[in-house]
Structure 1
Amino acid sequence: MNNKQFAQVVEPYNTSLFSFAMKFTKDEDDANDLIQDTMVKAYRFFERFEEGSNLKGWLFTIMRNTYINDYRRLSRSNTLVTKTDEISSSNLAYSATHNQGEATFVMGDINGALAKLPIGLSKPFIRYVEGYKYHEIAVELNIPLGTVKTRIHEARKLLSKQLQMYKQRIS
């Protein structure tokens, strides 16, 4: 299916998708961005849409999941940034690294540990860290949902062993 055909199939739902997006975002520009993200994902995975299913419901589900995932990513990044003028010592200790050199070594260790993971474990784990939901990973990698959960769990265990030296700092 090309872009034009896809646009013709989903065009009847544009008004209801916009209304649904406005309920989430309360802002016209953000709603349009959400619709665009939804359409990109829908186009990307359209071959997996089951003919005869509820297309509107499928699009609404993609939109809702996209909004939730974006909200989670945003809230994770906002928890590390203090938006006040005065930074307390507890906030500073929480968000600061000792120096750039140490951060470089830590990232090197993390990347090295990720590189040692088997590809079957690293792909689902990296997608999960990027904010994808289990079922989205399952669809993308064309593997069962239970397999995705197991592989992410196994990747966590291996990474935990490989990065044990940092465990004491976090606790």
Structure 2
Amino acid sequence: MDTKAFNLNIFSHKDSLFSFAFSFTKDTDDANDLFQETMLKAINYSSQFKEGTNLKAWLYTIMRNTFINNYRKSSKTDRIMTVTDDLTSDKLFLSASMNGSEGKFVMDDIYKALSKLQPEYYTPFIKYFEGYKYHEIADELKIPIGTVKTRIHVARQILKKQLRIYSKMAEDQEQVA
């Protein structure tokens, strides 16, 4: 199956995939993100799909596994952010030191990462970050809503890669604490 036929074939399952995503997340925006991530993975790994097998089941499996992996990542993050009553001076020191000049460097790195985004990703991402809804961005930029969602998702992935050092620093600080 050629790429165009494959893409049209997976797109034909759009409605049922979105419903499946919503059944996991119970939130429209999170369901949109899960749907977009599933579609990107399906396109990226289209060579692994075996013709003659159930495409819908394959897509559902990708979505289910993506949701589970994201849930595991977020539950690890949630465990890190626990509230305790014993605030010792060393924990207060670490907290206070992170609120110092490091914040300026972090913001500089965020701005640099944003400036490296191509305009077709930067504009929808910034609009979404400013609080615009997907359909509002699509109307303003005169592009399909699916394109808006994909570009925002891709921008997030690019920024995650470029700012990955900060997640490692957070893990290192947790180990120190």
Using structure 1 for the length normalisation, give the TM-score. Answer: 0.49
Q: Which has the higher contact order (CA 8 A, sep 6+)?
A: 2
